[in-house]
Structure 1
Amino acid sequence: MFTAGIPTAPARAPGRAALGVGLLIAVVLLALGWLTRPAAPPAPDAQAAPRLAPMLRHMALLGAAPRPIATAANAAARAYIVGQLRGIGLAPQVQTATVQKSSIRKWGGTHVTLGVVHNIVVHLPGSAPDRLRRPALLIAAHYDSGTLTPGAALGNRGVAPVAALIETARALHTGQAHLNDIVLLFADGEDVGALGASGFVQQHPLARRIGLVLKFDGTGGAGPLVLADASGAGSQVLRGWAAATPGMPGSALTARLYRLLPDMPRTGPLADIDAPALLFANTGRRAAAERPDPVLLAQLGDSMLRLAQQFGNVPLARGARQPHAWFTLPVLGQVRHPAILSWGLAALAALLLVRGYHTTLARSAAGAVPLLRGFFGVAVLLLATRMLLWERRHELAALTRDQDGGAALVFALAGACLFIGALYLLRRLAGAASVFLGTMAWLAVALLGVLALAPDAAYLLAWPLVAALAAFTALQTPRDTNSRFLILALGLVPALLLFVPALRTSWSALAPHGIYLPALVLTVMLLCFASLLLLLPLGRVVGAALLLATALAPGLATPGQPARTQAMQATLAEHPARAPEGLVYFKDMNSWRAYWLLRDERQGRPLDRWTRELFPNLTKPEVQVDVFGWNSPRQWLAIAPREDAIAYPEAFMLKNPRLARPGQRPALRQVEFTLRSKNRAPHIEMWAAGTKPQRSTLNGRQLTARESAWSLSLYGMQDRLLRFTLDAPADDILAVVVEERMPGLPVHLLPPGGPHRLAGTGMTVSSDVLRFY
């Protein structure tokens, strides 16, 4: 017999079996060869080289200093962009808008963000006679940056897309005419909650004409450009993307995975436009002092122009489309289909699974016992795998910090050998068909969960599951040996084609951030498809190979690893700490003192010699209870000279009634106060302590309308007079904390010999507390 539970043809000569094994190995190796080859980025267009020099110049000028919203550096960047666009011959408009958004904190409470943004909008009219009736194309980037971004890092997030967008505007203006109107958006306030994009979507009249959004962003100055999200995109848009930028990575699954990254760009409010939205981003990690990567910049500029030309000349349609699955296969290129097709594949897999159980049960002399053993045996194996991985979580966390990934690969190979070996042991107890069907049953359950949570990514499991069950069904009739090997190879190839690239992407994108769970889940699912190997008469060969691989795996991880560890330790000893870009000068009105603060973001790493001069009396970061309370984070703190040129927040109580209004239920009192920033602080942070306000307003604008923990972020208020009202319980004490946050430090108060990169970084905070008794 061929294997337990599978009918077979009469025995053939050994040469025929060897030929079948060779055919199976050739097919699998061919698939793995396609999947493990290095991914080469698409070659830039020949016209991209002349645009590279001006893009590098834009990056050098815009990325010379941080550009937080409402700061002088932000205004200088805006003036530079407007000047460049006017020099091209365009007529950019600056949209000034006040934007308010509310969000719910993870620990509860409502946080309100209110800011004044300055978007740069350029309208490029199309040449089509009916262009006013045709939806327009929107290409968006943002020109602001974070507060603590290193000033010398030319690869700041947002700089490269802005540089590319300026040169794309030049190419579109001087090149061939495009049929559709094209709108270019240089958004402000992206780093504080996408306020600029919200202002454009909610208040700009051109937002109602957009038929497709192309947003460009990034996490650093290197790494390949990928399609990171495709919100509401249908087959036509995805087909246009593939035609304009052949070879660019991206899939529905990777889009889901990228959403797990804390610093990965999001489509944000631009997804609220009633139109498809494509998000393009590079996935390189941020560095402290990056240099611009010409390869990335050339690819970015070339891709942006190609996409603009592609979608600027095809009819666009407003309205989001149903979710689509989209991925890339070798030779075939991009594959896309409606996500609802995965439900059909799930139904087909269920029918094949039921048929497989029915056929196996009819041929089994022991009844349903082997099938139950296979089903629950696989469940025990999966549970044991989960427990083993949990016990090894510290080793897995260490593997995420490995730079070359060699140790992680060895760990995966050793685990795969153990898993497949356990499947073969389970086969001796329940039979090959029972173990295979039990494994496929649990994968079918997982498929239903994926369909419910992420239908666009369910293709990853749906196609391989149908292929594996179809191969099992085809083997229910007698066939010659070579045909059986070919059928099993074809049943295994879809899993390899889809899971191996997904596994590689999930590990390379998420592991550097310490997120390894998706890669583990994908690995276990891929190993479940290895149950197809149980249907082969190769138990002894596979067993010997597994034992050999398990024995050699620890040795493969040994060479070079101690050297890498010693090199890393030597590097840390030479440079024990980075320059303190998170240094804060904190001026507190309550204690009438000033402090140097530094958060413990180095996880116990020692300070360098210069930073040690700021904190001479501390050996480790501590919770500063007397200054910030018990719930404050661990941080370095030292008394600093008080700089009188930095003013305290100018706050005045206007109304503080002791009693509630007669007959009011619940009993509330309305307190009122004003606030003005003499420092013209670009960012003011406020929060309430002691009670939960039920309603609040700012200059007559309603901020909150229900009881909740209250916090507020203000941007771009400068020295405006701000009038607040808060309705709070009459019997509670209310304290309102005010912090004026300004980028930069009083450098003249710092000890000499500081890092050159310190200029323009750090933060100055002026604080006060209003108490209403």
Structure 2
Amino acid sequence: MPGTRASVLRAALVVLLPLLCGIAALISVQPPSAASADAPATRFSAERAYPHLERIAQHPRPTGGAYTAEVRDYLVETLRKTGLTAEVQRAVVFEEEEPGDVTGARLENVVARLEGTGDGPAVLLAAHYDSVGNSPGANDDGVAVAALLEAARALKAAGPTRNDIVVLFTDAEEYGSLGAQAFVEQHRWADDVGAALNFEARGRSGPSIMFESSGASAGLLNETDTPVASSVSESVYGLLGHHTDFTVFEDAGLQAMNFAYVGELMHYHTPVDSLEHVDRQSLQHHGEYATEIGAHLASSDLARSTADEVYFTLPLVGIVSHPLWVTYLLGVLALALLGAGVVTGVRRGLLAPRRLATAVPLVAGGTVLGGLVPFALWQALRAFYPGYDDIPLGDVYNNGLFLAAFAVLTACTLALWLRWCRRKAGAADLAAAAAVWWAVLTVAALLLLPEAAYVFVLPLLTVGPALAYPSFRDVGYAVAAAVGLLLLVPAGYLALLVTGLEFAWTVFLLTAALLVLLLSPVSLPFTVPRTLVKWAAPVAPVTAVALLSASLATGGFDEEHPEPGTFFYLLDSDTGRARWGTTDPVPQAWIEDHAPESVESGRLPKFFSNRYPFRTGKAPAADLPSPEIKVLRNVVADGVRTVRFSVASRRLPPVLVVTNPSGLRVRSAVVNGTKVTGGADAPDAGSPWSLEFLAVPREGLDITLEVQSGEPFPLRVRDRSFSIEEVPSLADEIDRPQDTMPGNDHGDFVMTSTGTVVK
């Protein structure tokens, strides 16, 4: 009886403890429940915030749009009713991200201030109220805007804080964070701000993750009941090269945090980012951060953190953070303990170098299989559903079912692989080989992504002693498994939300590496009845097949889950010829009917600077006014041409693009009196110059270019609107099926183009 009890206890330690830790870790990164409309006045309520969202997200809100102006006025009125000082900041802003590649906009930020009792730095709560032209932007970024309106009300109801609170709704975020740039460079309140919280969305559900910070300690998140953060997210996001308004605040030297939820990517920047696809729990999470962390910052001295920080979420604890040097120190300790454990194991005869050499490639094969299975399944899905090739961000509507199927199939594959490996090498040697590969990953993480290395370092700390001392093996690996799952489950879950199905294999590969490390030495300390094994063995593969079948059965497209497809109309105003077009490699049937001809990459220079492959077809020439170019001055002196010209569009589209298709060097450019190109960063010889401008004024733009050449200088002007439906004669020509939707940020756009040569 005592022996049986001991076996059961060891089984609980080896199996149940890690399992419970994994479940607890997953629960810890779920969003909070939505608070009801009768919640205390000082608390945030998603139900109180939702009516704001209903008013904001009825239609797309591109910069300069008519509905965007209506929402602007609603925001000002609501903030004033709440008791804040509110105003509209009107500005013209230009950004030259790369030499010669200029974006500009005539924009309108909404800015409000809640006065505090002291004179310390203000706290900024920020979200953008514009959307892409293709989407009503309920989640991106309507939820954040609604959350900040309700948060402002709750903060006002709680009474004055020490520091002022500034609420900023930026315009033109979708075109390079120009509204945030206008605020930090031009608004009189910008110098008063010491800390900023920015809110975003890249999907329609999931927890709001603090995924990026600058000078702000992640420990601040423990002011809320449901903090979710991981420095893994910050490391991965940094590799992607994306940016939001947070980047502008960070560059301005503010202490800042960036929050976003990222579940169900199929809704991002599409027409289905609509009110019916909003998760009130995500709205609640955004709002709790804004209210509670905002209030805490507004009552503190806003001391800036200068140390690089590692942070993660633990169940029942919240956010754990420590300086980066601690990870390096623990990493060296873990590697030293592992090295000592392997050497000791060999000396004691517990490990054999020959068997260890056999086990190393076996373990590597298991790790690779963990990524290969989901990768192969995704490729098979793309073959089964050709429309998946054109899906933005590599995700599908029912990704949860597919991921569950991937996980079970991967687990089955790993179980079979480990069972086969146990016949080729002993448990101890497999454990040591797995630890060696895990150590390789640890070193790579410490060198390349140190803020994410804690996921590899901490589970490794007890593995070395477990290899050297058999009496410690159960405890050592149980602790390693528990710690590993506590860290990897939330990090892997958050990563899967971001990657979608296309890159899920990377997360599965790392998960497989951990599971191989933790499971390879495990022998259950009790005998499982053969009958149970006989009946349980088929359950996993049958479950996997059932999940995959359900995924395939529900993975198609319908009116509730429309298929994205890119479609546009191009009119050459110089020739009067028009074409339908698409960039989809596998167009939907109705699109291919309109655009049956393949066009070689880069062969539509009158309309696109990018070298995309296209499919096009003849289209009727609509009666659309041409963009206008008027040369006002043209002087050549000492090999330098100075040309001043105006550009405009009588149809007043949202976007106007001016390009220099020749590649002649433009050494300076002035637009409406603002120098936008020039000096040391001027384009090199042979570089083109272009300007993309949003919300073009009726009178157009006045541009002066200095060209480092006296050769004839070509100019081209394109205007672009977001919907073919805006042109009735064209709308009558097409019949987009109800189970499809526009497949890019610009919608089913209409573009007209004209050019001239300045001689």
Q: TM-score range by the shorter chain?
A: 0.7 to 0.9
Aligned to 1:86: 80
After superposition, the C-alpha distances for 1:54-79 in whole angstroms (9 at most, x for unaligned) are: 63333233222222112333333222
Aligned to 1:555: 542
1:515 matches 2:503: yes
Residue type of the alignment partner of 1:770: T
Picking from 240, 252, 259, the partner of 1:273 is 252
**Contact in 1 for aligned 2:338/2:465 (Cα 8 Å):** no
Residue-pair matches, total? 716
TM-aligned CA distance change 1:735 to 1:546, over 3 Å:
farther
1:265, distance to aligned residue in structure 2 (A): 5.5
Residue type of the alignment partner of 2:546: P
After superposition, the C-alpha distances for 1:265-305 in whole angstroms (9 at most, x for unaligned) are: 56321222323312222324326343254444444434422
TM-aligned CA distance change 1:400 to 1:765, over 3 Å:
closer
1:502 matches 2:491: yes
SS at match of 1:147: coil
Bigger Rg, structure 1 or 2: 1
Aligned to 1:5: none
After superposition, the C-alpha distances for 1:104-136 in whole angstroms (9 at most, x for unaligned) are: 4xxxx7422122332222222211xxx22x222
Picking from 436, 446, 449, the partner of 1:451 is 446
Q: Distance in 2 between matches of 1:543 and 1:499?
A: 33
**Contact in 1 for aligned 2:208/2:286 (Cα 8 Å):** no
1:739, distance to aligned residue in structure 2 (A): 0.9
TM-aligned CA distance change 1:103 to 1:521, over 3 Å:
farther
1:347, distance to aligned residue in structure 2 (A): 0.9
1:490 matches 2:479: yes
**Contact in 2 for aligned 1:420/1:527 (Cα 8 Å):** no
Picking from 275, 299, 311, the partner of 1:326 is 311
Aligned to 1:241: 221
Aligned to 1:206: 189
Aligned to 2:670: 698
Residue type of the alignment partner of 2:573: M
> After alignment, is 157-166 or 286-295 more displaced?
286-295
1:406 matches 2:392: no
> After alignment, is 720-729 or 383-392 more displaced?
383-392
Q: Distance in 1 between matches of 2:454 and 2:607?
A: 51
Instruction: Please give the TM-score of this superposition, normalised by the length of structure 1.
Output: 0.81
SS at match of 2:260: strand
After superposition, the C-alpha distances for 1:68-101 in whole angstroms (9 at most, x for unaligned) are: 1123333332222222223334322322333222
Q: Distance in 2 between matches of 1:382 and 1:155?
A: 40
Q: Distance in 2 between matches of 1:16 and 1:99?
A: 71
Picking from 434, 456, 459, the partner of 1:461 is 456
Picking from 124, 129, 137, the partner of 1:143 is 129
1:710 matches 2:686: no
1:182 matches 2:169: no
1:212, distance to aligned residue in structure 2 (A): 1.8
1:620, distance to aligned residue in structure 2 (A): 7.1
Residue type of the alignment partner of 2:299: N
Picking from 106, 109, 116, the partner of 1:126 is 116
Aligned to 1:99: 93
Aligned to 1:31: 21
TM-aligned CA distance change 1:543 to 1:322, over 3 Å:
farther
1:641, distance to aligned residue in structure 2 (A): 4.3
Aligned to 1:3: none
Picking from 51, 57, 63, the partner of 2:51 is 57
1:370, distance to aligned residue in structure 2 (A): 4.8
**Contact in 2 for aligned 1:669/1:730 (Cα 8 Å):** yes
Q: Distance in 2 between matches of 1:369 and 1:709?
A: 62
Aligned to 2:414: 416
SS at match of 1:159: helix
After superposition, the C-alpha distances for 1:718-766 in whole angstroms (9 at most, x for unaligned) are: 12441231424556x6533211223444443122996899999744433
TM-aligned CA distance change 1:541 to 1:472, over 3 Å:
farther
**Contact in 1 for aligned 2:607/2:753 (Cα 8 Å):** no
1:591 matches 2:571: no
1:352, distance to aligned residue in structure 2 (A): 0.7
TM-aligned CA distance change 1:517 to 1:19, over 3 Å:
closer
1:232 matches 2:214: yes
TM-aligned CA distance change 1:506 to 1:649, over 3 Å:
same
Q: Distance in 1 between matches of 2:298 and 2:561?
A: 52
Residue type of the alignment partner of 1:687: T
SS at match of 1:85: helix
> After alignment, is 18-27 or 78-87 more displaced?
18-27
1:494, distance to aligned residue in structure 2 (A): 0.9
Picking from 687, 707, 711, the partner of 2:659 is 687
Residue type of the alignment partner of 1:706: P
1:693, distance to aligned residue in structure 2 (A): 1.8
Q: Distance in 2 between matches of 1:550 and 1:260?
A: 41
Aligned to 1:6: none
Residue type of the alignment partner of 2:507: A
**Contact in 2 for aligned 1:339/1:456 (Cα 8 Å):** yes
**Contact in 2 for aligned 1:137/1:180 (Cα 8 Å):** yes
SS at match of 2:461: helix
Q: Distance in 1 between matches of 2:8 and 2:84?
A: 71
1:455, distance to aligned residue in structure 2 (A): 1.9
Aligned to 1:338: 323
Q: Distance in 1 between matches of 2:667 and 2:494?
A: 47
Aligned to 1:282: 261
Aligned to 1:68: 62
**Contact in 2 for aligned 1:68/1:144 (Cα 8 Å):** yes
After superposition, the C-alpha distances for 1:311-354 in whole angstroms (9 at most, x for unaligned) are: 2222212x453222221222333211112211011110122122
TM-aligned CA distance change 1:621 to 1:360, over 3 Å:
same
Q: Distance in 1 between matches of 2:666 and 2:629?
A: 25
Instruction: Please give the TM-score of this superposition, normalised by the length of structure 2.
Output: 0.82
SS at match of 1:92: strand
Q: Distance in 1 between matches of 2:569 and 2:307?
A: 51
After superposition, the C-alpha distances for 1:159-216 in whole angstroms (9 at most, x for unaligned) are: 2222222233333334411111111111111010100111222333433332321111
* Aligned sequence identity (%): 24
Aligned to 2:40: 47
Q: Distance in 2 between matches of 1:380 and 1:632?
A: 38
Residue type of the alignment partner of 1:651: K
Residue type of the alignment partner of 2:663: T
Q: Distance in 2 between matches of 1:537 and 1:61?
A: 59
1:601, distance to aligned residue in structure 2 (A): 4.5
SS at match of 1:144: coil
Residue type of the alignment partner of 1:241: L
1:148, distance to aligned residue in structure 2 (A): 1.9
**Contact in 1 for aligned 2:126/2:170 (Cα 8 Å):** yes
> After alignment, is 22-31 or 363-372 more displaced?
363-372
Q: Distance in 2 between matches of 1:322 and 1:506?
A: 25
Aligned to 2:175: 192
> After alignment, is 272-281 or 399-408 more displaced?
399-408
Q: Distance in 2 between matches of 1:537 and 1:38?
A: 29
**Contact in 1 for aligned 2:28/2:226 (Cα 8 Å):** no
SS at match of 1:722: strand
**Contact in 2 for aligned 1:114/1:715 (Cα 8 Å):** yes
Indicate the RMSD between aligned Cα atoms, in angstroms. Answer: 4.1
